[in-house]
Amino acid sequence: MTAPIMVHLDAWRVWQHAQRLSLVTITERIRVVALFGAEMDVEPARSCDGDIVGWLHSHPEWSDSTVTTYHSYLSSWFKWLQVTDRREDNPMMKVGTPHYPDRQPRPVSDDDVVRLLSTRMWRSTRVMILLALLAGLRVSEIARVRGEDVDAGAGVLWVKGKGRKVRSIPLHPTLIEAASTMPAKGYWFPMRGHPHTPMHGKSVSDVVSRTMRRAEVPGTPHCLRHWYATTLLDDGADLRTVQELMRHKTIQSTAVYTKVPDARRKSAVARLDPLRSVTGAEHRVYVPSAVGTS
């Protein structure tokens, strides 16, 4: 059987580079579209809605999150084909939108943070972890930190995040101290043998993950970013401030990363008073007797 021809994929790759999308995003999109064509034995540019539905249905082992992500990649592919006049219709219009799974915040516990920071590790690894815990950086952002991004005098760190947007983050005193031990110029975490090229975010993730496993701390490096947001909220920061520090476009995105502590939820419920409009001796909550009928 002849393998299907992957028409237009190279042109789509070039177009995405011109849009300044990240290399990771471009590579993953191309991989998924090519996988779709190979597994369904169709030319992706000429496939129909039945091919797409059949492919997604053929992988029951995929999580809802994976299906949603792959669906978005295919949507981007067919939208590009249509916009660039390579195809008249968009089969994704007939496929429908999968249910996006509700995400729950998964911050590491305070005890786990102490256990992690008490573990022996390389200085560079400790700085990676501190950047996640005290600045809320993603692994891809940690990989690209340079000495020039630190303004110790102003107490800020300049971060290039999603969409290549550059934002400033207040530097925690511990990070200011850590910065003094790192290069004043160039990448803090260069690729081995290539001092002018930053590590891949995946490499940073692997380094931090190994340290977390050795410290017997459950979760992923991203859970350290969850801790940052959750702890800010727990310590009294309002959600809008946390949104700015997390560098989210919408407050809804921030809400996903923040877990309201159980103690705060219980306290909020305990303060409820159905007779709060009543004053004086009459102000008491009625508690029904355990004996008798209503």
> How do residues 36-90 score in pLDDT, each as one tens digit?
999 999 999 999 999 999 999 999 998 887 898 899 999 999 999 999 999 999 9
Please check the confidence at residue 289 and state whether its pLDDT lies above 60.
no
Residue 287 predicted with pLDDT over 70: no
Q: Using the predicted structure, report yes or no on whether residue 242 has a pLDDT greater than 60.
A: yes
C-alpha neighbours within 13 Å on the C-beta side of residue 131: 30
Note the pLDDT tens digit of each residue in 255-269: 776 666 666 667 777
pTM of the model: 0.68
Indicate if the pLDDT at residue 284 is higher than 70.
no
List the domains of the chain with CATH numbers.
Answer: 9-95 (1.10.150), 110-262 (1.10.443.10)
pLDDT in tens, 88-127: 999 999 998 877 655 667 889 999 999 999 999 999 999 9
Catalytic residue annotation: 138, 162, 222, 225, 248, 257
The span from the CA of 142 to the CA of 188, in Å, is: 9
Supply 159's token pair. Answer: 């971060």
Helix, strand and coil percent figures for the chain, each rounded to 5: 55, 5, 40
Average pLDDT over residues 213-235: 92
**200-216 tens-digit pLDDT:** 988 999 999 999 999 99
